[in-house]
Amino acid sequence: MLRRVRLRIARRAAEPSPFARTPRDRTLRALATVLATTLAAPALAAAPAEDPADELAQMEAAEGHALNHGAADLARLVRQLGAGNPWRSRLRGPLGSTLQGFPDIVEVEGFDEAGLGELPFPLASVAGRYDIPMSFNAAVADYIAFFQGPGRKWFAKWLERSNRWVPLFRSILRSHQVPEDLVYLSMIESGFSMHAKSWASAVGPWQFIEPTGKRFGLRTDFWVDERRDPIKSTHAAAQFLKRLYAAWDDWYLAWAGYNAGPGKVSRAIEKYGTSDFWSLAETDDAFRKETRHYVPKLLAAALIAKHPASFGFTGIQPEAPLEWETVEIPAATDLDVIARCAGTPVDEILLLNPELRQWATPPVFKGESPYVLRIPKGRSEVFAEAFAKVKPSERFTFRSYKVQKGDTLGHIARMFSTSVDAMLKANRHLDAKRLRIGQELMIPVPPGARVQTASTDPRSSRR
């Protein structure tokens, strides 16, 4: 028989995790979820879902499973076993199903302080590379281990996207005189996805809810959602974060305020008589779990993102940076017209202008400035020459239409001499099986087509 030694869950030399409970409670809750925790993936897992909303939901589900319910504590124990220790694989497999109600003492053979979640370098040796305050404790270590393990495939995708967006975001943050490393807040909020959307309807790379976005000048309407605009949303986030920092003179509290709202942070400080984030995080009812985890999650992301190879992230294929020029669009114009004039696919126009919600640029009313649109770098002169030759009447061949009782997509398509496929393409978020009365649709109308209700039906209108 193997010699068995009694190994208690080791107390970290660093600060305690803000979501720690008693050793027994932590271990019992961890046993139920350990099967879901892959602690040492040797290679990158399959790519995450392409849909940004699905990506966020999957990531949050894995995060909750691995961290919120205590799996991090048992994961910490298992990763303390050396990679060659036979008990490592034994614990990671059957433990969840065979050791229900396991006590707070785990009997294993051997002990090794190496493993995931540890810093591969002294924090002091890299702290100077950051312009945000860096800390390392059990909570940060748990998130490092999560990103290396269950969250690895998502974090790898974030690293790939970061090459495209981080330089732009840093330049904007710098212009507002806030730390450039606040860029990692966008990383944990959205994974640098312009189309990310949370369960709470927060949208874009900085995950603004609509009221907060409007407060900082972001337009959200039928035509555009500027929360998805990489430039405008980053300016708004910089202003918001600067205001939060001014309230408490503490970046950890500012990040907590970004997540929970400034009122929640102010009330917690007043109630518990401390402005130390870690002290507040150890108090169950000061912040909800998401906010308690928010700061260590950001710190873990920042540590890995600047030293990916040190944490096992190799073979990353960075996305190419986007390069563009801007042109002024004087009136609502179909994106296919713009794409033809620029000599580029429509998908490229959409990639450069993720704020656009419809298959056309917004209308420009009297007294308003032209709409500023991004097109691929080097195409502005070609575009200007071609666009000048397009008659104004041919620039916009869409109509808006409000759904009425009894309408079907087929009926609407026949009314406007178009096709159902074209309508679905123009209304990217349209569910063909769930038309709602009063719902506004963009109808692509072929040039010269006869529109049955163009002048007489009050349900349609030319935009």
DSSP H or E stretch at residue 62: helix 52-63
Look at residue 251 and tell me if it is in a domain.
Answer: yes
Strand partners, 398: 444
Which tokens is 400 given? 């808006």
Q: What are the pLDDT digits (tens) for 71-90?
A: 555 555 555 555 556 655 55
| 350 in the same domain as 239 | no
In angstroms, the CA 338 to CA 388 distance is: 11
| pLDDT higher at 60 or 256 | 256
| 404 in the same domain as 359 | no
Work out whether the CA dihedral 362, 363, 366, 370 comes out positive or negative.
Answer: positive
Look at residue 173 and tell me if it is in a domain.
Answer: yes
Work out whether the CA dihedral 215, 220, 221, 223 comes out positive or negative.
Answer: positive
Answer yes or no: are the C-beta atoms of 401 and 439 closer than 8 Å: no
| 242 in the same domain as 178 | yes
In angstroms, the CA 229 to CA 57 distance is: 22
Look at residue 458 and tell me if it is in a domain.
Answer: yes
| 191 in the same domain as 299 | yes
Q: Does residue 173 carry a pLDDT above 50?
A: yes
- Lowest mean pLDDT of 98-107, 126-135, 164-173, name the range: 98-107
| 306 in the same domain as 171 | yes
Res. 458 pLDDT band, cuts 50 70 90: very low
Q: What is the pLDDT of residue 423?
A: 83
- Helix segments in 360-401, DSSP class H: 380-388, 392-395
Give the total number of structural domains in the chain. Answer: 3
DSSP H or E stretch at residue 374: strand 371-376
Residue percentage of the chain with pLDDT more than 70:
74
| 343 in the same domain as 453 | no
For 81, residues 6+ apart whose C-beta sits below 8 A from its C-beta are: 87, 88, 91, 108, 110, 111, 112, 115
Answer yes or no: are the C-beta atoms of 185 and 298 closer than 8 Å: yes
| 406 in the same domain as 379 | no
Look at residue 153 and tell me if it is in a domain.
Answer: no
What's the mean pLDDT in 150-158? Answer: 94
Work out whether the CA dihedral 369, 439, 448, 348 comes out positive or negative.
Answer: positive
Q: What are the pLDDT digits (tens) for 386-429?
A: 999 999 888 877 788 999 999 999 999 888 888 887 788 778 77
Q: Does residue 160 carry a pLDDT above 90?
A: yes
Q: What is the pLDDT of residue 116?
A: 60
- Could you say which of 258, 278, 311 is where a domain stops? 311
Total-model pTM: 0.75
Q: What are the pLDDT digits (tens) for 237-276?
A: 999 999 999 999 999 999 999 999 999 999 999 999 999 9
Report the CATH number that the domain containing residue 219 is assigned in CATH: 1.10.530.10
Instruction: Provide the domain limits for residue 271.
Output: 159-311
